[in-house]
A and B are shown apart, each in its own frame.
Chain A
Amino acid sequence: MSATTVTLEIDERKPTVEIKPRTGWFDFDLKELWQYRELLYFLTWKDVIIRYKQTAIGAAWAVLQPLMTMLIFTMVFRKFAGVPSDGLPYPIFAFTALLPWQFFAQAISRSSISLVGNRDMISKVYFPRLIIPVSSTLSPIIDFCIAFVILIGMMVWYGLAPTWGILALPIFLLLAMQTALAICFFLAALNVKYRDVGHAIPFLVQFWMYASPVAYSVSLVPEPWRFWYSLNPMVGVIEGFRWALLGKASPDFSAMAVSAVVVSVLFFAGLIYFRRMERTFADVI
């Protein structure tokens, strides 16, 4: 009798937090993510500043890396192999592609190992775990912005004016980011359990770079392969950058749309996978 009264009394209140085994396969607490937005900001900010602490030249690395790669590419692909660059000066042709590419490569390399790198936080504090890989994906944007200044300088040097397509630049960048996130949700969660991921990442990045028109032009890809090739979202992103900034022929928008759909599916599948794995992160990491 009295027990019933107690239960009724309790049930009137809504608990702030309910702790129980999760059973659903798609349960995103967007409100909670929003509550933790400042943590996302702080973690991204930390990633950015510790990256260049105690280095002699600091953020100049953000410029030096794409510049050196551009020089090597110009040497090997242009001078030795004679790769065409669609009538554009090869250095800027390569540099324009290197910006989104390096952003993408950094994002997946950093975020795939991000959970393991922050294991002390995961095993000691609660927060939405998604914040960690997302912040590692956001932090290379700073490098991107720094290198972008150099790109503007190069455009002035070569006398190239951007087209109206430049307004679409954020969309291409977002697509690159979404692709990176889709990949890293899988890899970061997988890396918690299987450290093999850490070894596979450099391969994946290298392989993916050759499958994207960073050092060469899409026109070198045989026509019958072109559509399948364009399903790689980074093809659309890189071609989009060249189109928007250098006035090159527009990318294959229909293939881009297809790959955007594929990426979105992957992205949500990755989210679901991540949320499933998340339950055991603290136990396994």
Chain B
Amino acid sequence: MSDIVIRGEQLSKLYKIGVAQDYTTLRDQMSQAWRGMFRRSTAEDQEKGEFWALKDVSFEIKYGQAMGLIGRNGAGKSTLLKLLSRITEPTSGHAAIYGRVASLLEVGTGFHGELTGRENIYLNGAILGMTRAEITRKFDEIVAFSGVEEFIETPIKRYSSGMKVRLAFSVAAHLEPEILIIDEVLAVGDVIFQQKCLGKMEEVAHAGRTVIFVSHNMGAIRNLCTDALWLKDGHLEMSSEVGLVVDAYIKSIDLVRTQHDTDMDKRVGTGEARTKQVQLFSSDNEPCYTFAMGDDVVVEFEVEFFKAVPFAAFSLDIRQKNTGINIVHNSSLEDDNYQIVNPKPGKYRFRSQVKNLLLYPDLYTISICTWNRTSIIDFYEDTLDFSMVQSGLTNRDLSNHKRGIVYTHSKWSELS
């Protein structure tokens, strides 16, 4: 027997931009028809305003796989999810799904503020495809998971947004589909709740059910998924084991960044110099964008000075990509007594070595700032992304438990 759960064959979806973006009025349509009567439509007219959100995407998802779907905004991820969830139809192509699908493109779809928590659980459950008997059976569990027991008879318009999300996710978490399709629903809610959601999804993935998961959080994709599909401009760029795809994807983002860094007008700073071409290397000087916990991260960057300045120093920040929290701040002058004195106009290359970076598996970004005594010359924020993966430093399963950002060596003992 075949173990394929979803098979997509050359799925394509064409959008007409004018129609998709806004509704038209009858008048517009009539005036267009009127104009059309006097003018032969050309091929150009037809091509204009149309775009393939998805073009000839073929893939197979097997039973028990957790498939991550990655790509930049507008690459076609949402469109593919909508096709697989049957919200919209493909323009051409075909997909076969073997099993009951539940898709969560949003939490709390159909929630109504005037209804109580209890009423919304039933309504939302029914919308997601649960039967009334099923909801009744799981009702207590759903309420307990959400943690809003006290307010279950209160209209949800009196809930905080956090409570609403928790209630909504609890309903969704108690679906028992064979195939679960999840869009970035985790972008909402507080950190603790996000972890709870991730945990629940992992449970589903490990229970052997099939999961399709879209996220921009490469850490979450890496932890949750076994395989990944990478979509780029509507076509399938790569489909393979998750680590390979994520690495390739991260590298590609990096390339794009380098191409884009000529657009420097928006940067903070006096503009007397501009940082370009930031690259990361491992300690053995190989280009690298994925580091194991405890690795050294070597950053090389080029700074072009447009004017002679008396002196310049640098700082390097590392931020957690999802939250923007600044975790590392290194200063060349204060930490290492390094500065460049009287640089002439021209290009210079610099290197900074971040020693033993002990960050938990996740996606991070690097920012580089060039400054003098009084002001910032150039602040190149979030120049590129890199990811951290687990190493042998700890036996803790960091894919599941993500409390904290920074790892430190610790010693434990009993005091007599």
Does residue A163 face the partner (Cβ distance < 8 Å to B)?
no
Does residue A279 face the partner (Cβ distance < 8 Å to B)?
yes
- A53 to B114, Cβ gap below 8 A? yes
Residues of B within 8 A of A31 (CB): none
Alpha-carbon distance A224/B115, docked complex (angstroms): 53
- B105 to A125, Cβ gap below 8 A? yes
Give the interface segment out of B123-131, B214-222, B240-248. B123-131
Does residue A225 face the partner (Cβ distance < 8 Å to B)?
no
Residues of A within 8 A of B19 (CB): 193, 280, 283-284
| Chain A residues numbered 87-142 whose CB sits less than 8 Å from any CB in chain B | 118, 120-127
Does residue B23 face the partner (Cβ distance < 8 Å to A)?
yes
Alpha-carbon distance A122/B96, docked complex (angstroms): 22
Does residue A2 face the partner (Cβ distance < 8 Å to B)?
no
- A13 to B92, Cβ gap below 8 A? no
Known interface pairs A19-B97, A20-B94. Does A126 touch B86 (Cβ–Cβ under 8 Å)?
yes
- B86 to A17, Cβ gap below 8 A? yes
- A21 to B89, Cβ gap below 8 A? yes
Residues of A within 8 A of B27 (CB): 196
Report A1-44 CB contacts with B as 1/0, cut-off 8 Å. Answer: 00000100110110111111110000000000000001101110
Alpha-carbon distance A121/B85, docked complex (angstroms): 13
- B26 to A121, Cβ gap below 8 A? no
B186 to chain A, nearest CB (A): 16
Does residue B337 face the partner (Cβ distance < 8 Å to A)?
no
| Closest A residue by C-beta to B9 | A20
| Closest A residue by C-beta to B93 | A20
Does residue B257 face the partner (Cβ distance < 8 Å to A)?
no
Among A6, A21, A121, A126, the residue within 8 A (CB) of B110 is: A121
Does residue A164 face the partner (Cβ distance < 8 Å to B)?
no
Residues of B within 8 A of A53 (CB): 114-115, 155
- A16 to B99, Cβ gap below 8 A? yes
| Closest A residue by C-beta to B130 | A38
- A38 to B131, Cβ gap below 8 A? yes
| Closest A residue by C-beta to B4 | A10
Among B23, B26, B95, B129, the residue within 8 A (CB) of A19 is: B95
Interface size on A, residues (CB 8 A): 43
Report A243-285 CB contacts with B as 1/0, cut-off 8 Å. Answer: 0000000000000000000000000000000000001101111
- A9 to B2, Cβ gap below 8 A? yes
Residues of A within 8 A of B20 (CB): 283-284
| Chain B residues numbered 299-358 whose CB sits less than 8 Å from any CB in chain A | none
Does residue A158 face the partner (Cβ distance < 8 Å to B)?
no
- A21 to B92, Cβ gap below 8 A? yes
Residues of B within 8 A of A280 (CB): 19, 88
- B114 to A50, Cβ gap below 8 A? yes
Does residue B410 face the partner (Cβ distance < 8 Å to A)?
no
| Closest B residue by C-beta to A279 | B89
- A15 to B96, Cβ gap below 8 A? yes
Residues of B within 8 A of A41 (CB): 126, 132
Among A12, A20, A43, A193, the residue within 8 A (CB) of B24 is: A193
Known interface pairs A17-B97, A39-B126, A125-B103. Does A195 touch B25 (Cβ–Cβ under 8 Å)?
yes
Known interface pairs A15-B96, A53-B114. Does A10 touch B2 (Cβ–Cβ under 8 Å)?
yes
Residues of A within 8 A of B114 (CB): 49-50, 53-54
Report B61-92 CB contacts with A as 1/0, cut-off 8 Å. Answer: 00000000000000000000011111111111
Alpha-carbon distance A39/B392, docked complex (angstroms): 51
Does residue B251 face the partner (Cβ distance < 8 Å to A)?
no
Does residue B209 face the partner (Cβ distance < 8 Å to A)?
no
- B82 to A282, Cβ gap below 8 A? yes
- B105 to A50, Cβ gap below 8 A? no
Residues of B within 8 A of A42 (CB): 122-123, 126-127, 132
Does residue A46 face the partner (Cβ distance < 8 Å to B)?
yes
Residues of A within 8 A of B7 (CB): 10
Alpha-carbon distance A16/B98, docked complex (angstroms): 5
Does residue B112 face the partner (Cβ distance < 8 Å to A)?
yes
User: Nearest 10 pairs between A and B by C-beta?
Assistant: A15-B96, A19-B95, A126-B86, A42-B126, A53-B114, A282-B88, A17-B97, A20-B94, A124-B106, A9-B2
What are 21 inter-chain pairs, A to B, with CB distance below 8 A?
A12-B2, A13-B2, A16-B97, A16-B100, A18-B97, A19-B84, A20-B95, A21-B91, A46-B119, A50-B115, A121-B109, A122-B87, A125-B127, A193-B19, A194-B24, A194-B29, A196-B26, A280-B88, A282-B82, A284-B20, A284-B23
Known: A120-B110, A126-B87, A126-B103. 8 other contacts (CB 8 A): A16-B98, A19-B11, A21-B89, A46-B123, A124-B87, A280-B19, A283-B88, A284-B19
